[in-house]
Amino acid sequence: MTTEDNDQAAQFRQEGHVAFVVGYTGATGKELVKALSTTSLFKRVVLLGRRKTNVTEKLGNEFEEIIVDFEHLENHEDVFTGCDVGFNCLGTTRSKGGKEGFLRVDHDYVIKTAEFAKAKGCKRFLHVSSQGSDKDSWFLYTKTKGLVEEELQNLQFEHLAIFRPGFLLCEREETRIGEKIAACCFSPCICCCLKYSAMPTETLGLAMVRRACRPNGTVEIIDNPTIHYIAT
């Protein structure tokens, strides 16, 4: 980080911002939480999830875990009170939850979270989308990602950062056969063109934290090379 970046981070830290994170148990979410912990930029970080974990035992006192029911988020809207920054890492796969399960998590839960957060005063929202997202796509995954991006923009946050990483490189607790096959087939390309084709989840998490304290415009669409640049 440059001296200017350090000064910006120090000023942000002094302002006493409060953040919430959804999707913190996933591969990207875990790295985001690590980055939030090591940078200590927020006065308070609220982790919103569907089940209790032991994640806060290894984190600072500024972290709090709250269990919510995303199917009935209206019953938990007060958890967003005081949070001026939101991080969304929610996501699943069609193979895991079927078409309905995928749409429920990747669309419904995301939009509900954003709507309630905005209503409670959230000003900055940082969202993990995907490379190739397109609301007019024939493919369910990229079409859903594109539709969510459009709906988030319609909410008119003071700052909306949409991250479009390429192939995510990480260690998963669950085995995804498709990803393993893709990794084997494209590993030479990934090694040679990491900046353009792939993204370590650690890099993505750090870039999200850095962009939270230094937004660039009202709406940002941040592609794979730019994510790498922000994190370096």
Q: How far apart are CA 11 and CA 135, in angstroms?
A: 38
Q: Which of 24, 30, 118, 145 is catalytic?
A: 145
Annotation says 145 is catalytic: yes
Closest CA to 201 of 171, 178, 222, 225: 171
Is 180 among the catalytic positions? no
CA distance 200 to 31: 10
Helix (H) or strand (E) holding 169: strand 167-169
What is the four-CA torsion angle of 168, 169, 173, 177, rounded to 10 degrees? 80
Write out 68-110 in H/E/C secondary structure.
CCHHHHHHHHHHHCCCCEEEECCCCCHHHHHHHHHHHHHHHHH
Residue of 34, 43, 120, 141 with catalytic role: 141
Which sequence positions are flagged as catalytic? 141, 145
